[in-house]
């Protein structure tokens, strides 16, 4: 058992008030005397635990405990609980943010503003085949055309550049010319979309049909773009018919998006 002198030494060491030689001497004793070391650790922890402004960090954790906890935190169970906690946090914080108090006299004004806003929002929400077309058309996801050995005069590159610059007339001419002697489903897609932009809807449908007649992996793109053409034309029935063909196979192009689009279209 330790006397009060030992405690004074421990305190002196923790407070940094020991002389250099006493400090080195004490450190040596700590290394040699495991009982003293244990006492020292407890006193040090107590200093930090019972002082309201401090905190006892753990520098020598029991590794068995650490591993048990580690295994748990890596489990799916732990992850799903953490996700549930994060969700509750989001729910709670967002519910607090929308609550704000207004002076009483503001309420009638706020109510009439809400009424007017509601009126406009109602109109905003009015979906049409045209608005669905605008929502779902996205030419940015057209693939970049790969340069091919048989493309002697760089027509694919030129066509793509024209398309990017929204010069659809030129783009359609280049792709049309190229496709006279070549088969290239990507170029066909570019041609069809160029026709949409030129409002040549019949030509667009014809082009996408030719894509569908082929055997390429890109063939199902024909359904997607065709359904967009029908949306643009306001032909709900034909658009739905085409989407249904696309939805026959889960591996088809834009399957998930087509599902969402169909759901919205049905409601019109």
Q: List residues near another protein by CB under 8 A.
A: 1-2, 4, 7, 34, 37-39, 41-43, 45-47, 49-63, 65-66, 68-70, 72-74, 77-78, 80-89, 91-93
Q: Long-range contact list for 191-197, CB < 8 A, 24+ apart?
A: 192/225, 193/139, 193/142, 193/163, 193/225, 194/163, 194/168, 196/137, 196/225, 196/228, 196/229, 196/232, 197/166, 197/168
Contact 237, 258 (CB under 8 A): no
Of 73 and 119, nearer to another protein (C-beta) is 73
The minimum distance between CB 104 and another protein, in angstroms, equals: 25
Which is it for the CA torsion 257, 260, 265, 268, positive or negative? Answer: negative
Contact 130, 239 (CB under 8 A): no
The minimum distance between CB 12 and another protein, in angstroms, equals: 13
Of 86 and 134, nearer to another protein (C-beta) is 86
The minimum distance between CB 3 and another protein, in angstroms, equals: 8
Of 14 and 142, nearer to another protein (C-beta) is 14
The minimum distance between CB 25 and another protein, in angstroms, equals: 21
Of 38 and 124, nearer to another protein (C-beta) is 38
Of 90 and 165, nearer to another protein (C-beta) is 90
The minimum distance between CB 101 and another protein, in angstroms, equals: 16
The minimum distance between CB 26 and another protein, in angstroms, equals: 18
5 CA to centre of own chain: 63
Contact 174, 162 (CB under 8 A): yes
Buried b (16+ CB within 10 A) or exposed e, 200-238: beebbbebbebbbeeeeeebbbbbbbbbbbbbbbebbeb
Buried b (16+ CB within 10 A) or exposed e, 173-183: bbbbebbeeee
- Tell me the C-alpha distance between 104 and 211, whole Å: 65
Of 93 and 126, nearer to another protein (C-beta) is 93
The minimum distance between CB 22 and another protein, in angstroms, equals: 19
224 token code pair: 């997607």
Of 83 and 114, nearer to another protein (C-beta) is 83
């Amino acid at each position: 058992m330790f006397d009060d002198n030992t405690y004074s030494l421990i305190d002196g060491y923790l407070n940094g008030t020991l002389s250099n030689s006493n400090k080195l001497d004490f450190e040596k004793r700590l290394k040699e005397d495991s009982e003293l070391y244990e006492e020292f650790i407890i006193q040090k922890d107590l200093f930090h635990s019972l002082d309201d402004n401090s905190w006892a960090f753990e520098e020598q954790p029991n590794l068995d405990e650490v591993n048990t906890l580690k295994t748990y935190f890596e489990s799916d169970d732990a992850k799903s609980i953490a996700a549930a906690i994060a969700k509750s946090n989001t729910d709670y914080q967002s519910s607090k943010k929308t609550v704000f108090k207004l002076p009483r006299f503001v309420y009638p004004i706020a109510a009439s503003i809400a009424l007017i806003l509601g009126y406009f929002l109602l109109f905003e929400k009015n979906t049409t085949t045209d608005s669905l077309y605008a929502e779902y058309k996205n030419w940015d996801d057209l693939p970049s055309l790969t340069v091919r050995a048989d493309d002697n005069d760089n027509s694919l590159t030129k066509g793509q550049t024209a398309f990017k610059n929204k010069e659809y007339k030129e783009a359609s001419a280049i792709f049309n010319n190229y496709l006279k002697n070549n088969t290239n489903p990507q170029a066909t897609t570019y041609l069809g979309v160029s026709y949409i932009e030129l409002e040549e809807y019949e030509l667009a449908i014809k082009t996408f049909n030719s894509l569908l007649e082929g055997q390429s992996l890109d063939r199902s793109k024909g359904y997607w773009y065709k359904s967009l053409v029908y949306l643009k034309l306001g032909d709900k029935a034909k658009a739905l018919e085409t989407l249904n063909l696309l939805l026959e196979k889960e591996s088809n192009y834009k399957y998930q998006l087509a599902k969402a689009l169909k759901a919205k279209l049905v409601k019109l």
